[in-house]
Structure 1
Amino acid sequence: MRATADAGTAPHDLPSVSETAFKTAMRALASTVCVITSRHSGEANGMTATAVSSVAADPPTVLVAVNRDNRSHALIRDGACFALNILCSDQHELALQFATRALQPFATVAFSEGVTGCPLIDGCGTVLECALTSSFDVATHTIFIGRVVASRGSGGSPLLYWDGQFGTVR
């Protein structure tokens, strides 16, 4: 049975589902796997993420959601830029590597430096470099909005994440 608000209850006063129920439901979403890279004051980092979305085409704008406990958070905030490295279907090892929070995440990864100074991972299907335009906090995360200032791409089949597994569409 579904709980509904009575005439005197505002929707924002309704209780949230449990964390477990939320995570179970979110496993039903298939998402493209990205590595968000950032750099500030000589320090670079990368983090695997699926919480990425386009926002607008004019101007080209995307958003990423980053946990405030992640080392990338301060680099994006203070460096005012980030890059979305959209992984190809054969790059699941990169997704796993950048999910580990290694102290030197680029030690064994081929990359170049983009116009923003952020690392751009070689071999990705698409890369979008972004200048930070705004941000706002929501619960444990910050949503960073970035204007796309450069892009490159070869296409390729993207790496997907669904129900705890990597996959592809082709």
Structure 2
Amino acid sequence: MHWLITAAAVAALTAAAAWIGPGGAAAKAPAAARGGPDPAAADYPVDCGPYGITVTDHAVSDLDGDGVPETIAAVHCDAGAGSPPHGLYVLTDPARGASGPRVALTLVDPAEGMMLENLTVSGGTVSVRLLGYSSVDVPRSAPDQRRDVAWEWTAGTLALRAAPPPGSY
């Protein structure tokens, strides 16, 4: 009887805690719920052969100020090992009759062989750190080049603005 009463009390306490929830906690809405296109539903212009595509980072912002948010997505092939290059894409709502978001702009093409870090979006500016290699002799797991870049919404397009290379100032 003691175990039955204890089990009932634990169940009641668990149900009450789940119903009330922790004070001040708020769940983060997925990108689609915030109004931006879902990066997992896009068809990226990347040939991964037998592997799928992994979205490694994304952000939602109204880049052009038209009241409709875009999603900026960093993706790479899901090769399972190594350091595959990234692509960076701007996604917009699907074209009429299409089922998934549309890739409106490619900011970084995976063919460039870059990896990405520190994706941030603020208003009409997309910022990222590009990681690359000075030669084919550099191991693909240890990029030895880095550069911070940003694209700013200017005159109806995203214009690239690169920071000076490290050590050049």
TM over 0.5: no
Based on CA coordinates, which of the two structures has the bigger radius of gyration? Answer: 2
Q: Which has the higher contact order (CA 8 A, sep 6+)?
A: 1
Bigger share in strand? 1
**TM-score where L is the length of structure 2:** 0.28
**TM-score where L is the length of structure 1:** 0.28
